[in-house]
Amino acid sequence: MTPLRQRMLDAMVLRGFAERTVQAYIHAMAGLARHFNCSPELLTAQQVQDYMLHLHRDRKLSFSTVNQAASGFKFLYGTVLGLGTRQFDIPYARMPQQVPELLSRGEVAMLLACAPHVTAGTFLRLAYASGLRLNELCHLRWGDVHGQADRMCIHVRQGKGGKGRLVPLASDTLAVLQQWRALQPRAARSDDAPDWVFTARADRSKPMHDQSPQRWYRAAASAAGITKHGGLHTLRHCYATHLLEAGVDVHTLQQWLGHNHVQTTARYLHLVRPDAAVGARGASLALLQALPQPQPQPLPEPA
């Protein structure tokens, strides 16, 4: 490990950065060093900007991915190396604000009914009914699922940016989780077993990899005849919009989604149906029960 990489790691640990952020920043720094075949501290601001242009224009990476690398470079040069923006300017790309393609409640119901197997069906149902991000779902532990009558919630310990939060747990969602746990082998339910709700197939001591749920979503969408763009994150958009339509206020939803700014949550107001009726607060959380009931599909386990 080079001294510069160690300095950057130490600076991120000192500031309590989330593990995924640490990995992303180190990955960006390593890519920059490989591209120019020298230490990043020897580069000019123009060279760093040229590399960012290379990522987008030549490697066809999205603006959001390039901006993530830019954040890593800003931390490296601004915080670790102590260079100000006048000495070392690293711009962000202005990203177009696109309205996500939402699924109707009927489409959500068909998607869940067409899940390729039980594991996929449980994961997709929890994604829609809790609004958790993909990484949060993959790293969810049984110890963070609270089903007591006076404290029904999911404790997200490592959300985006390393921030924790509490997300309400509806009775229908709790029932899905209880049914899923009952299906687990007896060894997986013992006190010394791994605490992950969803484990990796190859090694049950590790959490599920985040690529599998994306494949499950695409397979279910294809089987359901859904052609709208988007991946698993679409279910989080549906969760937010359907709760707003059911009467949950924006500031409460902001806390549940883990957004830093209420303006981020308020974007979902543009997706709310004009004719949406305001529902009762307690019933509004039961998103799964509010879905229409399509023809049930068999859910075999993957081979």
Catalytic residue among 125, 165, 242, 259: 259
Count of residues in the chain: 303
pLDDT over threshold 80, residue 261: yes
User: Is 206 annotated as catalytic?
Assistant: no
User: Is 34 annotated as catalytic?
Assistant: no
pTM for the model: 0.77
Token readout for 137 is 């779902």
User: Is 268 annotated as catalytic?
Assistant: yes
- Which of 156-160, 187-191, 248-252 has maximum average pLDDT? 248-252
User: Is the Cα torsion angle 214, 219, 224, 227 positive or negative in sign?
Assistant: positive
C-alpha 101: how far from chain center: 17
Catalytic residue among 35, 146, 160, 204: 160
User: Is 77 annotated as catalytic?
Assistant: no
Catalytic residue among 133, 139, 165, 242: 133
CA 56 – CA 250 distance, rounded (Å): 35
Catalytic residue among 74, 236, 237, 242: 236
User: Is 160 annotated as catalytic?
Assistant: yes
Catalytic residue among 51, 217, 239, 268: 268
For the segment 51-102, what is each residue's pLDDT rounded down to a tens digit? 999 999 999 998 889 999 999 999 999 999 999 878 888 988 887 667 778 9
Using the 8-state DSSP alphabet, how is residue 78 labeled?
Answer: I
Kindly indicate the confidence band of residue 186, based on its pLDDT and cuts at 50, 70 and 90.
low
User: Is 20 annotated as catalytic?
Assistant: no
List C-alpha distances in Å: 233 to 8, 174, 215, 218.
Answer: 31, 21, 12, 12
Minimal CA–CA distance to 177: which of 129, 242, 237? 129
For the segment 103-132, what is each residue's pLDDT rounded down to a tens digit? 999 999 999 999 999 999 999 999 999 999
* Domain parsing of the chain, residue ranges: 3-80, 105-284
CATH 1.10.443.10 fits 105-284, yes or no: yes
Half-sphere exposure in the Cβ direction for 284 (13 Å, CA): 20
CATH 1.10.150.130 fits 3-80, yes or no: yes
